Structure 1
Amino acid sequence: MKYRILFLLAISFFSGSLIAQEGKQIREMVKFTPDFKFKDGIYLNFDQVRQNDPIPKSKILTSTDYNDKDFFRNLFESDKIYFYDEMGIRQEIEKSSVWGYSRNGVIYVQMQNNFSRVTFVGSICHFVADIVTYDSRYYNSPYGYGFYDPYSYYYYPYSYYGYYNPYSYYSPYYRNNMTRSDVKQFVFNFEDGKLMDFDLESTELLIMKDEQLYEEFMRLPRKKKKDLMFVYIRKYNERNPLYIPVNQ
């Protein structure tokens, strides 16, 4: 009888501890609103974004003053970032491996070694970024834009046999590597942070978890769906609010 009472007391204490822990977790989560401020620091991965737990400025090794308004700009001029981990051990990471950072409570995500502000935050997030594309083609060619240069060494039909190529040092056509900057829209959900182009396919995929909203969207004509993609992203966030750990 004595052991039974002790066993029941132990079970009661353990259950009470779990309830207290669950209550603590609930109290530490707050519903995201436009007034919410993320902790400032750098994100090594998206899980740190979800947990609102970046590497704080105080643990980053840099010659830039922590209060400098250009702190992050100066920090990311280097190819490597140095910081102290939770154990106080000095670590380093390539700049290209950093997911992003938070400045003044706002998230910035890295794409092509540049950082773009995440302007719309929720269970589904949206942002725009300047994306550079490269194009290497021949110009001034009568064969047309992008066609091969017949005077090029690589296309001379007799070069393999060792004959003299009179055009090997000169070509009236030139090859130029063009770069073009385009503004593109991207989205990601707050579960895995996978970046996707903001298009019809990604919109359908992201709102699929809300069955009612998804079916409503899928009943629309294709053109109407394209026009209302962002509207349904907003609807999804309103119906499925985002909860984030509060600042400690």
Structure 2
Amino acid sequence: MKHFRNSILWGYSSVCCLFFFLLAQGDLSAQTDTTGLVRYTPEYRFTDGIFIDFMQVRNNRPIAKSRILTTVDYNDPSFFNQILKQNKISYYDEMGVKREIAADKIWGFARNGSLYYRIGQNFNRIMIVGSICHFIGTVTTYNPRYYSPYIYDYYSYPYSPYSYGYPYSSMETQEAKQFILDFETGQVYEFTVSNVEALLIRDPQLYEEFMALSSRKKKQLRFMYVRRFNERNPLYLPANNQ
């Protein structure tokens, strides 16, 4: 009888151990999914290097600085700024084959673990990373019919008999705009209400809440809904041991 009771106690202990083991495994899976990806947190660091396309960003596999052919010191804090001013960048791919790409075809780069995206000739840091990213980008615009009262010379009005009207020149201006990046497709959009609506549709509950708001409230609360979307639909990325 005593032996039977000990067997029951041993079996009960085994079941308890198995239960706590499965519970621990379940807690671990909350941070890592079945494919080995990790849930993004502000502590996540992208691998430093140049991203040619968005697929490299998704896989967190850029062209490392050590594979780029350049005379710029790899430890120079302005390394990326200097090489991206060049017309072309030469590098070795993962197979050791020498490649070349135009600098204006680069998607962006990661520096000190942070992600930078190219808009025109400017690279802008993505401050909010998630399933929907948010950042402020500098956009260069040109006004070819800009009036300037200071442009007068012999060949322009009013000195030239062949010139009519007022002096004009092209003016370049830089404007800060808000953008969102869809991390599922890699598409970048202006941070407008209509674009937020298009992305929120993937979460029916949030979408219905947002669509029930007035136009004024949508504009005021769009950032909050992007944040809620990211909380409810977390981004998973490859683990980075950098």
Structure 1 contact 52–244 (Cα < 8 Å) conserved:
yes
Q: TM-score, normalised by structure 1?
A: 0.77
Paired position in structure 1 for 2:217: 224
Paired position in structure 2 for 1:81: 89
Whether 2:183 is the aligned partner of 1:175: answer: no
Alignment CA distance shift 1:214-1:92 (3 Å): same
Paired position in structure 2 for 1:234: 227
Whether 2:212 is the aligned partner of 1:204: answer: no
**Cα offset for 1:167?**
2.9
Paired residue total: 203
Whether 2:64 is the aligned partner of 1:70: answer: no
Q: TM-score, normalised by structure 2?
A: 0.79
Structure 2 contact 179–189 (Cα < 8 Å) conserved:
yes
Paired position in structure 1 for 2:69: 61
RMSD between superposed Cα atoms in Å: 2.1
**Cα offset for 1:83?**
0.5
**AA in 2 matched with 1:136:** P
For residues 48 and 146 of structure 2, what CA distance do their matches in structure 1 show?
47
**AA in 2 matched with 1:204:** E
**Cα offset for 1:27?**
5.8
**Cα offset for 1:28?**
2.6
For residues 72 and 232 of structure 1, what CA distance do their matches in structure 2 show?
34
For residues 243 and 138 of structure 1, what CA distance do their matches in structure 2 show?
47
2:182 to 178, 181, 189: 189
**AA in 1 matched with 2:176:** V
**AA in 2 matched with 1:174:** P
Instruction: List alignment gaps of at least 5 residues for structure 2.
Output: 1-28, 150-155
Whether 2:95 is the aligned partner of 1:102: answer: no
Alignment CA distance shift 1:167-1:186 (3 Å): same
User: Structure 1, residues 169-196: CA drift from partner, whole Å, max 9, x if none?
Assistant: x446111111221110011111111110
User: Structure 1, residues 58-78: CA drift from partner, whole Å, max 9, x if none?
Assistant: 111111121111110111121
**Cα offset for 1:113?**
1.4
Structure 1 contact 43–101 (Cα < 8 Å) conserved:
yes
2:123 to 110, 115, 136: 115
Instruction: List alignment gaps of at least 5 residues for structure 1.
Output: 1-22, 142-150, 153-165
Alignment of 1:16-55 (within 5 A): 26=34, 28-55=36-63
Give the percent of matched residue pairs that are identical in Structure 1 and Structure 2. 45
For residues 81 and 57 of structure 2, what CA distance do their matches in structure 1 show?
19
For residues 26 and 67 of structure 1, what CA distance do their matches in structure 2 show?
37
For residues 226 and 240 of structure 2, what CA distance do their matches in structure 1 show?
27
**AA in 1 matched with 2:211:** M
Alignment CA distance shift 1:73-1:127 (3 Å): same
**Cα offset for 1:132?**
1.2
Alignment CA distance shift 1:38-1:139 (3 Å): closer
Structure 2 contact 146–170 (Cα < 8 Å) conserved:
no
**AA in 1 matched with 2:213:** L
Paired position in structure 2 for 1:135: 143
For residues 226 and 242 of structure 1, what CA distance do their matches in structure 2 show?
24
The SS at the match of 2:137 is strand
Runs of 4+ in 1 over 4 A off after TM superposition: none
**AA in 2 matched with 1:167:** P
Structure 1 contact 138–173 (Cα < 8 Å) conserved:
no
For residues 215 and 138 of structure 1, what CA distance do their matches in structure 2 show?
45
